[in-house]
């Protein structure tokens, strides 16, 4: 995980004069989870970060922003850097997703576009998560499985899915190799 994410959450929490206990109660996370996120010891899924952003009254992107640009933001393929890795809610905190922000410098944005590498993951012990908002996924390479409620969707290169993220879901590579997707997340605050 980008070390700035945990640091930014801690800085913002202190700026807003919230104790870990207050943030835990309001976000329905444990103090231990929050402390580990702030220290970059826990690789969270998107859902806890969205809950923290909501409690603090900020966009999810606030934790990922490097600078604020009012006009268009251009990201060059050869200059793209990883912004955050997620465990995809795996309690063992094994990295299974690498996110590359495609609009980290855009101020006031309402969507969070990411290029996401889904690593090969042989475990089928997935824990779904849910959060307010919507997600759009486009498969660039490989095969992707989306567990959405009690449904399972298999997507191949070129396929897309758009869903309400309030429904419990889990996104992971399907098959013997990883996958790459374009993900656009909208999370109202």
pLDDT in tens, 127-160: 888 888 899 999 999 999 999 999 999 999 999 9
Question: Rounded to whole angstroms, how far apart are CA atoms 10 and 20?
Answer: 9
Residues 6+ apart with CB under 8 A from 181: 115, 116, 118, 137, 138, 139, 140, 144, 171
Residue range 81-135, pLDDT digits in tens: 666 555 544 444 446 778 888 887 777 778 889 999 998 876 677 788 888 889 9
State the Cα angle at 5 between 112 and 186, rounded to 5°. 20
pTM equals: 0.68
Question: Rounded to whole angstroms, how far apart are CA atoms 113 and 45?
Answer: 16
| pLDDT for residue 2 is more than 50 | no
Q: What would the DSSP string read from start to end of the chain?
A: --HHHHHHHHHHHHHTT--HHHHHHHHT--HHHHHHHHTT-S---HHHHHHHHHHHT--GGGGT-SS-BSS-----GGG----EEE-TT-TT----EEEEESSTTBTT-S-EEEEEEE----------B--SSEEEEEEEES-EEEEETTEEEEE-TT-EEEEETTS-EEEEE-SSS-EEEEEEEE---
């Amino acid at each position: 995980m980008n070390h700035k994410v945990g640091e930014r959450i801690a800085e913002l929490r202190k700026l807003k004069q919230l104790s870990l206990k207050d943030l835990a109660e309001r976000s329905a996370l444990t103090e231990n989870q929050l402390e580990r996120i702030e220290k970059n010891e826990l690789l969270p899924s998107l859902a806890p970060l969205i809950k923290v952003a909501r409690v603090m009254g900020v966009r999810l992107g606030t934790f990922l922003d490097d600078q604020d640009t009012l006009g268009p933001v251009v990201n060059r393929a050869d200059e793209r850097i990883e912004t955050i890795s997620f465990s995809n809610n795996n309690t063992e905190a094994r990295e299974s997703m690498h996110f590359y922000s495609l609009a980290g410098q855009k101020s006031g944005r309402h969507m969070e576009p990411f290029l996401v590498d889904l690593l090969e993951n042989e475990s089928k012990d997935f824990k779904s998560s849910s959060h307010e908002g919507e997600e759009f996924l486009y498969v660039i390479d490989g095969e992707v499985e989306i567990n959405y409620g009690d449904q399972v969707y298999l997507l191949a290169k070129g396929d897309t899915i758009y869903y309400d993220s309030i429904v419990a879901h889990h996104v992971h590579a399907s098959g013997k190799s990883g996958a790459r997707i374009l993900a656009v997340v909208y999370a109202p605050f």
